[in-house]
Amino acid sequence: MTILAALLIAATPVSIADCASPAPLAEPWTSWSQSGQARAGAQAHGAPALILGRPVVATLIPAAHIQFATPPGKGAKEGYGGLFTLSLKQPARVGIALDGPAWVDVVTGAEAVASVQHGHGPACSGIRKIVWFDLPTGRHLVQIAGSKAATVRVMAADAKANQPVG
């Protein structure tokens, strides 16, 4: 029973409220605490852009009002969500980070892109989850669904941002 309790504690993300001070973040998340503002889109046309390395606090929309390009993996009919665009000049492994629980999908063309990795952000960082996608050059749609909160901090980051070349 003790092992099970330890595993449950290890699997639970540390809330920033449980920390004495926020943890300093390494690349590509160093700008996580900056605060842009955005209102999530209800449809792909006109959805606001996410810019790599620039977090926003997004006001979300009731999920029933969103025209998702593909059905979200979870939570499509519950809570809040929204749509964002993300444009890439070159292929990249991109992480989408959120500060709260919600489902994240990336759609390229008419197809949902499979995630390649997911997990929690660093302890005491305020990043609850990061979902990684290998994305080609071009325009993508980021779908957020199933948030119980009407706002979420979201950031897209290139895994190789500011990494040494060599």
- Domains identified in the chain and CATH numbers: 2-158 (2.60.120.380)
| Most confident by average pLDDT, 20-24, 29-33, 77-81 | 77-81
Query: Phi first, then psi: what are they for 27, rounded to 5°?
Result: -60, 145
H/E stretch holding 4 reads helix 2-11
pLDDT one-digit tens code per residue, 118-143? 888 888 888 899 999 999 999 999 99
The CA distances from residue 66 to 28, 50, 55, 79, 143, in Å, are: 30, 18, 22, 11, 10
pTM of the model: 0.83
Per-residue pLDDT tens over the stretch 52-62: 999 999 999 99
| pLDDT tens figures, 88-100 | 999 999 999 999 9
* CA-based R_g, the chain, Å: 16
